[in-house]
Amino acid sequence: MVKNRRALSALGALLLAGCDLPASREMEFAGDEIRKAAELKYSRVDREGFAVLANDALTATIELPDGKVIRFARVGYKSFGANAVNVVVAEADGLVPRIASCSAMGPPNFQSEAPLGHHFQPTLLDLKDALKRANEVLEEVQFWPQCPQSWEVQDKFGANYRYCAHRKDAPADPPRPTGCS
């Protein structure tokens, strides 16, 4: 009986590995869109663990022709095209940008409708646009204060955010914005 369960488990794993899962299609789509976007030295799209659906939980590591590296988070269908909502920068040439709201802390979203989207003129529409303007993204993050020092901004809905950047090996997050209870 135990041998049969192992055999069934192995067969099930083999069948799942052979299937074209939606998460695999989303990874392939993101990789293709990134390669079309700009001249790059290297690009890789990854996902954490096994999942049937990626749900924009992919990461993309991009090396520019000059050797600088940008890593994007929350990559997936919502990062490309006219309906994009994600241009999330997790690392920019060794700097880890961070943004804090009253409810969350994490990497900043630079998409045009996000709280820091106004930093780019014209605003970033999607990940392909960010890749074409990668040097602007790098300059923006390099201009940020070093954590725990931070700058505070308010989005168009009146919510406050603090942001800063730190070296990859020196984690420190910005404090919560003023007005948080």
In the chain, beta strands by DSSP E: 42-47, 58-63, 69-75, 88-92, 95-100, 105-106, 151-154, 160-167
Instruction: Give me the residue spans of the domains in the chain.
Output: 20-167
The pTM score is: 0.83
Residue 76 in contact with residue 172, Cβ under 8 Å?
Answer: no
Could you list the pLDDT tens digit for every one of the 181 residues in the chain? Answer: 445 555 445 444 444 444 557 778 888 988 999 998 878 899 999 887 655 555 678 999 999 999 999 999 999 889 999 899 999 999 999 999 999 999 989 999 999 888 888 889 999 999 999 999 999 999 999 999 999 899 999 888 888 999 999 998 877 788 888 888 7
